[in-house]
């Protein structure tokens, strides 16, 4: 099972939950297990969760792939950044600071091009 759950998966889960509540709550109200007001409130809350997720989903395409709202890297982009750090550390050890700075400039340009595409 993946560590992260996508917004689309979360929305689908909420949709399933809303469908279940739509089928189950009327029976519970009829049997006296749940007050109608409480059922309505819980359905409204879950619908609000869905609306919040839809707003987040609408905002996501504006972000570069692999970058969170706070600018942190995640997923494959984070792995690539971690691998770059390892390579730069090895280059510094072997080639010296001047070479490393040149390599860092090249990698920054490469990363910017990757994020922009």
Q: pLDDT tens for residues 1-28? A: 456 788 888 999 999 999 999 999 999 9
Reported as a single tens digit per residue, the pLDDT across 40-99 is 999 999 999 999 999 888 876 666 666 666 666 666 666 666 676 776 677 667 777 777
Residue spans of alpha helices (H) in 1-117: 7-31, 36-59, 75-95, 97-116
- What secondary structure letter does DSSP report for 64? P
Tell me which of 41 and 114 has the higher pLDDT: 41
pLDDT above 60 for 106: yes
- Domain-by-domain residue ranges, the chain? 7-62, 75-116
> How confident is the model at residue 34, as a pLDDT?
96
- What secondary structure letter does DSSP report for 67? B
> Residue 32, Cβ neighbours under 10 Å: how many?
7
Q: Does the global pTM surpass 0.75?
A: no
What's the CA gap between 33 and 54, in Å, rounded? 32
Q: How far is CA 105 from CA 76, 87, 90, 99, in A?
A: 21, 14, 16, 10
> How confident is the model at residue 5, as a pLDDT?
82
């Amino acid at each position: 099972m993946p560590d992260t759950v996508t917004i689309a998966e979360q929305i689908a889960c909420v949709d399933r939950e809303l469908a279940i509540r739509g089928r189950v709550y009327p029976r519970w109200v009829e049997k006296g297990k749940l007050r109608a007001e409480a059922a309505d409130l819980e359905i409204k809350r879950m619908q609000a969760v869905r609306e919040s997720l839809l707003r987040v989903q609408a905002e996501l395409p504006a972000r570069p792939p692999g970058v969170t709202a706070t600018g942190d890297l995640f997923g494959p982009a984070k792995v690539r950044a971690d691998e770059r750090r390892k390579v730069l550390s090895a280059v510094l050890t072997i080639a010296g600071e001047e070479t490393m700075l040149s390599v860092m400039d090249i990698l920054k340009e490469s990363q910017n091009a990757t994020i922009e595409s």
